[in-house]
Amino acid sequence: MRLLIVADTHVPKRARALPRTIWREAEAADIVVHAGDWVEASLLDEMENRCRRLIAVYGNNDGPALRERLPEVARADLDGLRLAVVHETGAAKGRETRCERSFPDTDVLVFGHSHIPWDTVAPNGMRLLNPGSPTDRRRQPECTYLTARVRHGRLEDVTLHPVTRD
């Protein structure tokens, strides 16, 4: 099972559209995970039409139209892998311990908000992933996204990619 993991797309505020690289990855993925801050519902509509499966949440920059359609927290069982998605997790300091308390029975927690890529493991073994942003790098050297695979209930081949402009 191939995953594309994105967050903080901010379309059309930070970019008029998603980069073609992201659309290619989305169409090749079995599942697209989006950790919020869409900004406009039109991007959600397009993702729902172009992706096989979408697991998504709203973020702090998402208004009523998106909040009516998306949850604050999404959970899914992916071939035995317990996934949770949320936009905000709070400050970096103490994140792993705080998240393992807030998301028990979770193998992988995907989050966004900071636009800063993150890949750590909590003391209980839960993996925390933030893909950065494919459209707004903020203080990072480049815009980014993640890909991964789920095999037999295990997350594998997690790769952070820079967004290429084409």
23-47: pLDDT as tens digits: 999 999 999 999 999 999 999 999 9
C-alpha count within 13 angstroms, C-beta hemisphere, residue 89 = 27
Overall domain count for the chain: 1
What's the pLDDT at 114? 95
**Which uninterrupted H or E stretch holds 65?**
helix 64-69
Q: Could you read off the pLDDT of 106-120 as tens digits, one per residue?
A: 999 999 999 999 999
The model's pTM: 0.96
What's the pLDDT at 166? 63
Pairing of strands 127-130, 118-121: antiparallel
What's the pLDDT at 139? 86
Residues 118/23, Cβ–Cβ less than 8 Å: no
13, pLDDT greater than 90: no
What's the pLDDT at 164? 81
Residue 136 DSSP code: -
Parent domain of 38? 2-162
Residue 30 DSSP code: S
Q: Could you read off the pLDDT of 47-92 as tens digits, one per residue?
A: 999 999 999 999 999 999 999 999 999 999 999 999 999 999 999 9
Q: Reading across the β-sheet that carries 127-130, which strands appear in turn? A: 73-78, 81-86, 108-110, 127-130, 118-121
What CATH number does the domain containing 108 carry? 3.60.21.10
Q: Per mean pLDDT, which range of 6-20, 40-54, 64-78, 121-135 is the poorest?
A: 6-20
